[in-house]
Amino acid sequence: MTTSSRTIGVKDHSSDYELAISDKGAAHILIEDNTEQIINGYLVQSSGGVQFLGADAVIDSYEITMVGGHTFVAGDFIVVAGGERIYQGQVVSVATNVLTLDTPLDFAFLQASSVAFEVINDLGVDGSVTRQTFKIDTTPDVTKNIHFRGLRVSIMGSGSMDDGKFGDLAALSRGLVFRLVKNDGTRFNYVNVKTNGDLGLAFDHKVYTSKGAGGDNSVEFTWQIAQDDGVVMELEPGDAVEAIVQDDLSSLDIKVWIFGHLES
């Protein structure tokens, strides 16, 4: 039997939001102001300490100057944070203290108020002995709240995949945890997933892709927070979204991409 659904829209003229209430599911937040600054990025883990700029960055340049003694080498992933902006890119080459990046700088980061981090964005690590945490956060320099509307998980491996496995591995013992950490130390665990099936239940839009010649199998998941749950995940300055690896996932390639916008 086919069942129709109805949606009721309620507009708040004092804000940039419209609330759409469906009789088939959760309330959905519709962003009407298309000038909101989009914020996208990988969940990452710092592989070194804080590093500092040697000069002000130039917007639209592929080069950024670091203070002498930095540890960046070609192939490293870099995060630069300052003002109200966060940049993620990859180092193409290094000439002493000048890094050439794969993506042009979209903000003129100031030497006096910006920091840089060498990071890894592949969750395919061994967390079975010491748990490994990947995150995206808002530094104290970012003074606006960030509204994250969803995230995507991509898992690649050489073996076959099904709902009883995690990627192409046997079901995990401890699991992969997604959580929110507030700036006052409060933690909110969202979900612990041990199989592809768990990810499919917790998120949605599960897609398996068979490998081509010499390639890998993959499975991808998308959690549309605003669409599915009718809310956004709000990060205040100092908050973080984390993924905690508690098993040996080193044979997999795992990326987590989160997307949202700055609060107006």
Residue ranges per structural domain of the chain: 1-34, 45-119, 122-262
Per-residue three-class SS string for the chain: CCCCCCEEEEECCCCCEEEEEECCCCEEEEECCCCCCEEEEECEEECCCCEEECCCCCCCCCEEEECCCCCCCCCCEEEEEECCEEEEEEEEEEECCEEEECCCCCCCCCCCCEEEEEEECCCCCECCCCCEEEEEECCCCCCCCEEEEEEEEEEEECCCCCCCEECCEECCCCCEEEEEECCCCCEEEEEEECCHHHHHHHCEEEEEECCCCCCCEEEEEEEEHHHHHCCCEEECCCCEEEEEECCECCCCEEEEEEEEEECC
pLDDT (0 to 100) of residue 264: 67
Mean pLDDT of 125-142: 85
Measure the CA–CA gap between 23 and 4, rounded to whole angstroms. Answer: 9
| Percent of the chain whose pLDDT exceeds 90 | 54
**pLDDT, tens digit (0-9, with 9 covering 90-100), for 180-191:** 999 899 999 999
Q: Which CATH class is domain 45-119?
A: mainly beta
For the chain, the average pLDDT equals: 83
CB 160 within 8 A of CB 170: no
Instruction: Give me the half-sphere count of Cα atoms (radius 13 Å) on the Cβ side of residue 197.
Output: 7
Residue 24 has pLDDT above 50, yes or no: no
Residue 196 has pLDDT above 60, yes or no: yes
Position with higher pLDDT, 236 vs 104: 104
Confidence band, pLDDT 50/70/90 cuts, at residue 212: low
**Cβ contacts of 153 within 8 Å, gap of 6 or more:** 199, 203, 220, 221, 222, 223, 254, 255, 256
Confidence band, pLDDT 50/70/90 cuts, at residue 141: low
- pTM for this prediction: 0.79
CATH T-level topology, domain 122-262: Jelly Rolls (2.60.120)
Q: How far apart, in Å, do the first and last CA atoms of the chain sit?
A: 44
Residue 214 has pLDDT above 70, yes or no: no
Report how far Cα 49 is from the mean position of its chain's Cα atoms. Answer: 20
